[in-house]
């Protein structure tokens, strides 16, 4: 979701980032790097464009320890309970109440489930609870050492905002305002069209694409479907018009899918159905201070880290209408030598995905 915002100097490390200030370089057209820097000024591509200089700061990143943040769907009534015993975590919920205008912690801990599951509530709830989990970890013996060891971060869809906040790209408060608007804009876009999402279980991505192609032959253009979430082998989410989704469900068995699961979301996320949300997000991002992250934050759009604030805004603008490249992200991290991961926030969705991609992956869940 994002667009033009003036390139601003990185500020002092924000409390949530907590880790070492690995790459706080001025977000100018040129980035001065010492010969000992672990990051090069190589070229990286973004769609049809090629970014150089500031956006290539993390081009040769070598991950060892990652923080991974969940997306919508991870919410559950009762989350946030542990945060109440950690003052720094409780403070985040209190700050959130002022921004959101309602008692978020009460909704997280007591529900009702139907309200917590709504797009406009679940996205802020997961964002705040996930960052509260960082504070829960920090309060534990050795927790600050773990935080200091983190040298890469990413999040699933919504979780990308949480990762950017952790990495100091924007403040907790600014990130929450963006997430609040994102949830509202996505809900409004969903209300404007009859759309849905379904998980297809048991097929590789090529077969799921063939299934989508077959479904699209039977529906009008405004009902077409596409892969929206590349999660892990055997689990891909398809988004599109309700009629297209129904055809996918009807044809899945003939393509040897094990099952389909209709997702409890408002609409066809990560497709052109979300286009009405983009302009609102661009306007909000244009008014938000975004800084160069201190550590690489891997984008859902292209599975690459970006360091230039304007590029990050463009990436976030594209995110709501672009497929989530989570499988590529995880495989890339592991291929580059990732040794340990932590899932921070509600649920264990990311841990399950990681284990599907690599059974030997080391991941620990930190809830709040």
Torsion on CA atoms 227, 230, 232, 237, rounded to nearest 10:
-40
Indicate whether 147 pLDDT > 60.
yes
Number of Cβ within a 10 Å radius of residue 367: 22
Q: What residues have CB less than 8 Å from 335, skipping those under 6 apart?
A: none
Q: How confident is the model at residue 50 (pLDDT cuts 50, 70, 90)?
A: very low
Residue 270 has pLDDT above 60, yes or no: yes
Apex 362 CA angle, 361 and 364, nearest 5: 135
**Domains of the chain and any CATH numbers:** 65-192+269-366 (3.40.366.10), 195-263 (3.30.70.250)
Q: How far apart are CA 162 and CA 172, in angstroms?
A: 9
Mean pLDDT of 314-337: 96
The pTM is what? 0.86
Q: What is the pLDDT of residue 30?
A: 26
Per-residue pLDDT at 296 exceeds 60: yes
Q: Which of 149, 144, 137, 147 lies closest to 64, judged by CA?
A: 149
Quick one: pLDDT at residue 53? 64
Residue 82: both structure tokens together = 């542990």
- CA–CA separation, 226 vs 229, rounded Å? 9
Q: DSSP class of residue 83?
A: G
Q: What is the distance between the alpha carbons of residues 228 and 257, in angstroms, rounded to a whole number? A: 17
Query: Which residues belong to the active site?
Result: 157, 270
Span 341-356, average pLDDT: 95
Tokens matching residue 191:
């209300």
Report the pLDDT value the prediction gives residue 298, as an integer from 0 to 100.
98
Residue 175 has pLDDT above 90, yes or no: yes
With residue 120 as reference, give the H or E element that holds it: helix 119-138
The separation between CA 133 and the C-alpha centre of its own chain, rounded to angstroms, equals 16
Sheet bearing 235-241, strands edge to edge = 225-232, 235-241, 195-201, 259-262
26-35, 51-60, 197-206, 308-317: the lowest-pLDDT one: 26-35
Mean pLDDT of 256-269: 95
Q: Is 355 helix (H, G, I), strand (E, B) or coil?
A: helix
């Amino acid at each position: 979701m994002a667009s033009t915002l003036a390139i601003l100097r990185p500020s002092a490390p924000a409390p949530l980032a907590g880790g070492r200030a690995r790459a706080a370089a001025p977000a100018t057209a040129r980035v001065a790097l010492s010969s000992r820097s672990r990051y090069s000024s190589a070229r990286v591509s973004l769609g049809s464009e090629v970014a150089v200089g500031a956006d290539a700061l993390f081009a040769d990143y070598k991950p060892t320890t990652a923080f991974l943040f969940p997306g919508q769907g991870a919410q559950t009534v009762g989350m946030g309970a542990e945060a109440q015993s950690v003052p720094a975590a409780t403070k985040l919920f209190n700050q959130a109440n002022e921004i959101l205008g309602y008692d978020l912690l009460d909704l997280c801990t007591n529900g009702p489930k139907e309200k917590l599951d709504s797009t406009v509530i679940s996205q802020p709830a997961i964002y705040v609870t996930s960052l509260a989990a960082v504070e829960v970890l920090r309060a534990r013996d050795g927790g600050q050492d773990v935080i200091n060891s983190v040298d890469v971060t990413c999040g699933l869809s919504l979780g990308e905002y949480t990762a950017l906040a952790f990495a100091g790209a924007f403040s907790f408060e600014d990130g929450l305002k963006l997430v609040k608007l994102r949830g509202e804009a996505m809900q409004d876009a969903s209300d404007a069209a009859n759309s849905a999402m379904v998980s297809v279980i048991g097929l590789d991505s090529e077969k799921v694409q063939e299934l989508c192609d077959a479904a699209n032959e039977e529906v009008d253009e405004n009902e077409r479907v596409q892969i929206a979430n590349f999660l892990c082998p055997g689990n891909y989410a398809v988004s599109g018009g309700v009629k297209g989704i129904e055809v996918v469900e009807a044809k899945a068995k003939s393509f040897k899918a094990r099952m389909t699961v209709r997702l409890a979301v408002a609409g066809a996320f990560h497709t052109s159905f979300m286009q009405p949300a983009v302009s609102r997000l661009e306007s909000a991002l244009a008014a938000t201070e975004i800084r160069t992250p201190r550590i690489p934050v891997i984008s859902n759009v292209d599975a690459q880290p970006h360091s230039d604030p304007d590029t990050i805004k463009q990436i976030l603008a594209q995110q709501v209408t672009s497929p989530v490249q989570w499988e590529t992200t995880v495989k890339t991290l592991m291929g580059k030598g990732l040794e340990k991961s932590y899932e921070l926030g509600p649920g264990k969705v990311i841990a399950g995905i990681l284990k599907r991609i690599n059974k030997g992956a080391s991941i620990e869940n930190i809830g709040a």
